[in-house]
Amino acid sequence: MRETPVSKRWAKIGPRDTSWMIHVPSAGLCLSTFVIIRKGNSILLGHPHANPSWPSKGGYPTRHAAELEKSGSWLLPATHLMMEESPDHAARRIANEWAGVKGIPEFLMVQSHLRPSRQRSQQKWRTGFNHWDICFIYGLTTKTNPKPKPWWADSRFFSRSEMRRIRFGRGHKDILKTVGYL
């Protein structure tokens, strides 16, 4: 039986007859929420610390957080959605628990992109796989500084000119470009 090309299939995942419903790129799919927290004209970014909270708070392996910490990368407050969690709930969780800022984030937009990835197979890395990111982007304005959190080596507000000179991790700079902050 010949398989229908990817461009002709629905990107659906469902509990019933899965023979016609499933198409997930070979390197997976992530549903994530990002919160752009502004104070004046500055944006809150965090420099990751390899804390064991990353898998439960950020949906991200601690070893990857360690790589970002070592590389000097900065991130927006963001996380993967938990199973059956709404993007709105995830945005409130990110702002309040993950970033340490009070308030109710407002929905801005959805950003989606397919990016090349790698997979580990039999102890070797193979390229040529695609990963699909669907990102729900929210905004929040605050007048206060975040409460320090152990999963951030540092978190602070950066001006646009400062952000142009820093290293971003995991495509977070693309999110800021998409919404027009960079």
Q: 6-11: long-range contacts (C-beta < 8 A, 24 or more apart)?
A: 11/132
11 found inside a domain: no
pLDDT (tens digit, 9 = 90+) per residue, 74-93? 999 998 888 888 999 999 99
Domain extent, residue 82, equals: 35-178
pLDDT bin (cut points 50, 70, 90) of residue 143 is very high
27 found inside a domain: no
Residue (of 178, 177, 150, 145) closest to 163 by Cα position: 177
Residue (of 48, 30, 24) closest to 136 by Cα position: 30
d(CA 120, CA 5): 25
Pairing mode, strands 124-141 and 29-39: parallel
67 found inside a domain: yes
pLDDT bin (cut points 50, 70, 90) of residue 167 is very high
The CATH number of the domain holding residue 172 is: 3.90.79.10
pLDDT value at position 1? 43
Pairing mode, strands 42-48 and 152-158: antiparallel
42 found inside a domain: yes
Selected residue with higher pLDDT from 56 and 32:
32
Number of domain units in the chain:
1
9 found inside a domain: no
146 found inside a domain: yes
Per the prediction, the chain carries an average pLDDT of 81
Extract the runs of DSSP E, i.e. beta strands, from the chain: 29-39, 42-48, 78-80, 106-121, 124-141, 152-158
